[in-house]
Chains A and B, each alone.
Chain A
């Protein structure tokens, strides 16, 4: 199976790899895993007081498509409100990266990572 140029680009030059301090109240952490392939993804968002995503970092253990999906998502969410970020769909990710059907679950993983991070932020700030 051939990877698209965009997948290869993100895989070879992943954007925003790394971690923030998960205990920082400004940081939202989303962790998800795909049992089908054993991939694990951690997405962290740095959120301003006004609810805008200022920065994002990821760490993904998985195939090229999973790494590319999370790398792309860190670029997309920057500057977005939580509301806007939660509207990113796996189909947008799959389309942008031209993922083949067998790799759609990688884009689902990235979408669910955003949702998990937002949930984490809401839990952190609900009390």
Chain B
């Protein structure tokens, strides 16, 4: 049973996260150890395994990035532990500029407006990449989809760094 089947979904990138969360909560309840208090040891073990699998599946499908990686894996292209480097110069140049912008923001005495503006840009970029990933996966263009996922990971990283800056700024 693959992660999509666990939640009764067709394997597809477009997925309603609210429906996923609702189904996750139902399954989590059904396989909760409390439900197996009077069961025998092998049943308890089975339920525990199932609960773990449900958690893994939910964590994987909830995020667009890991959901795309999982779909690629199902299609025979495992990029989750790859060490491939990205060499697209214009994309990397932009990443460098983004990193420099992060440095500039961290030097500001009142960084909030700059953080919010940057956040909005990154979210727009994520939405664009996710739309592209959806289209490429739908047309079974796995290499192109994988490239878009790799780019999405850079944007995710920037977002994490930006969130860290925001936390630091709110501590002062």
- State whether the Cβ of B73 lies closer than 8 Å to any Cβ in chain A: no
User: Measured between C-beta atoms, what is the minimum distance from B77 to chain A in Å?
Assistant: 14
- Chain A, residues 93-127, CB within 8 Å of chain B (1/0): the string is 00000000000110011001000100000000000
Q: Which residues of A contact B (CB under 8 A)?
A: 31-38, 40, 42, 59, 61, 104-105, 108-109, 112, 116
Question: Does B18 touch A at the CB level, under 8 Å?
Answer: no
Q: Majority SS of interface residues in chain B?
A: helix
Assess the A31–B93 pair: CB atoms within 8 A. yes
Taking CB atoms, residues of chain A closer than 8 Å to B83 are 34, 36, 104-105, 108
Pair count A-B, CB < 8 A? 58
Knowing A33-B95, A42-B96, A61-B96, say if A116 contacts B154 (CB, 8 Å). no
State how many angstroms separate the Cβ of A48 from the closest Cβ of chain B.
24
Chain B residues contacting A61 (CB-CB under 8 Å) are 95-96, 99
On whether A33 and B92 interact (CB within 8 A), knowing A38-B153, A104-B83, A109-B85, the answer reads: yes
Q: Find the residue from B84, B87, B151, B156 having the highest chain A CB count within 10 A.
A: B87
A40 to B95 CA separation, bound complex (whole angstroms):
7
Pick from B84, B87, B157: contact of A38, CB under 8 Å: B157
CB-defined A-B contacts under 8 Å, sample of 6: A32-B86, A34-B86, A35-B151, A38-B158, A104-B83, A116-B87
**Which residue, of A33, A42, A104, A112, has the highest number of chain B Cβ atoms within 10 A?**
A33
Complex Cα–Cα for A33 and B160 (A): 17
- A38, B85: Cβ atoms closer than 8 Å: no
Q: Is B120 at the interface (CB under 8 A from chain A)?
A: no
